[in-house]
Amino acid sequence: MKKIIKARERETVIQSLKSGVVPRLGLQHIQVGRSGELKSFINDIDTIASGGTSFRFVIGEYGSGKTFFLSLVRCIALEKGLVTMHADLSPNKRLHGSDGQPRLLLSEMLNNISTRTRQEGNALQNIIEKFISSAKEESNGTGEPVGEIIGNRLRELGEYTGGYTFITVIKRYWEGYEAGDINLMESALKWLKAGYTTKTETLRDLGIREFITDASFYNTLKLYSVLVRKAGYGGLLVCLDEMVNLYKITNSISRKANYEEILSMLNNTLQGTLSSIGFIMCGTPEFLTDNLRGLYSYEALRSRLSENGFTRQLGVADYNSVVMRLSSLTKEELYLLLYNIRHLYAYGKEEDYLVPDEALPAFLNHCVNKIGESYFRTPRTTIKSFLDMLSILEQYPHYKWNDIIDSVEVKRDAEHSGAEELLDGNRVTADANDDFAVFKL
């Protein structure tokens, strides 16, 4: 028997689906399919937790479920004791740049940093205080000053660029913590979240000259992978969505610089020079395979990301590949999704279902007649229309589902990946938004 669904989770999921975005809560109530892909990523999470590394690209057409899949993997990572960072790339948030784009991306990632007890983000302060608390416990047992223990535990950071300054800022936070100096603690957190932009500010607030710059993006991620491990977490999972924004960069030099940043991350991860860190990047097929603007336009990445030749010949998927391709939602999985949404809408109470079982295939047939096969390839409007019908039946009980189903409006969802935006090399106009992801796991 299925358990009753909490009102908060129900409302969060329903409102998110109606708005066309992936809900932050309640993913487990609507997930369907993708067992092979999920098992592979769970193995990656276990590898990170045991001190290893992982690097994956999740590639799928617009509406194929990349964002939902990424969100579910994040939830699993948090439950297994990892720390996660996530953000969406955009024209002003990139991996490489000179006008603040990398710093803005890193700042968003650090604002979204999450743990099992703070799954909605803003967990950096908790992570630091957990680290400091364990250092104080050790100090109480050994008599060694807390500051020295912090320095000794983070000594490994000295091997990385910016590591010594990072240690100093953690100590500044501890000094403010001990003295009850809120301003000093907030200044340290601001520095750690890439909030400073001038040496004058950092010297005034923290007594140091260095700060996190655009060039510090990847090095800072390395530092955090060590910090979270020293704080007692299993490792760090970095999740980046909307990678198609790199594909849409019209300046070839800037685009290549961003791809070189990806290559550096990929090499360090696969060569084992890092530990307890993983990367997941989501993008469209064009972002990967376009020979003019995609990752394949950069030969070093093309050779490393070439796919298993047996998969096409045998018609199977290689779940262990660096590149994970997500297929579209199948008709059977969409049926199960509608089933789950009906259950969620009724708070998990079968006696309160607004439509019977036979209404589900009838609704899908209605969608086929309206928009054809795109109803399961990019089913955003299919899901929204189904929720609209449930909403009417809930508010007006005198209506019957079979009386109103033919009047339910279902429009063809926009399908684009951004490739058409590049026909004019001097401008980018469209919005390749993939916030909503089809539910498939």
Work out the average pLDDT over 159-166: 92
- Residues ≥6 apart with Cβ < 8 Å to 97: 214, 254, 257, 258
Q: What does pLDDT average to over the chain?
A: 85
pLDDT greater than 50 at residue 431 = no
Q: What is the mean pLDDT of residues 69-77?
A: 90
3 state DSSP class of 377: helix
Query: What b/e string do you get for 309-321 counting C-beta neighbours within 10 Å, with b at 16 or more?
Result: eeeeeeeebbeeb
Tell me the C-alpha distance between 369 and 405, whole Å. Answer: 12
How confident is the model at residue 372, as a pLDDT?
59
Across 233-245, b (16+ Cβ under 10 Å) vs e yields bbbbbbbbbbbbb
Instruction: Determine what percent of the chain is predicted with pLDDT higher than 90.
Output: 50
pLDDT of residue 383: 81
pLDDT of residue 403: 81
Alpha-carbon span 271 to 260, nearest angstrom:
16
Q: Is the distance from CB of 216 to CB of 98 less than 8 angstroms?
A: no
| Reported confidence tier of residue 417, pLDDT bands at 50, 70, 90 | very low
Would you state the pLDDT for residue 18? Answer: 78
pLDDT in tens, 251-292: 999 999 999 999 999 999 988 888 899 999 999 999 999 999
Q: How far apart are CA 215 and CA 252, in angstroms?
A: 19
Return the DSSP state at 38: H
Q: Where are the alpha helices (DSSP H) in 271-418?
A: 285-289, 299-305, 309-314, 331-345, 359-371, 374-377, 380-395, 401-404
When pLDDT is cut at 50, 70 and 90, the band that residue 32 belongs to is: confident
Over residues 223-238, the mean pLDDT reads 95
**Amino acid in position 286:** E
Helix, strand, coil shares, percent, the chain, to 5:
55, 10, 35
Looking at mean pLDDT, say which of 203-217, 300-314, 347-361, 409-423 comes out highest.
203-217
Higher pLDDT: 109 or 315? It is 109
The answer to whether 132 and 138 have CB atoms below 8 angstroms apart is no
Query: Is 425's pLDDT higher than 80?
Result: no
Whole-number Å distance between alpha carbons of 207 and 200: 9
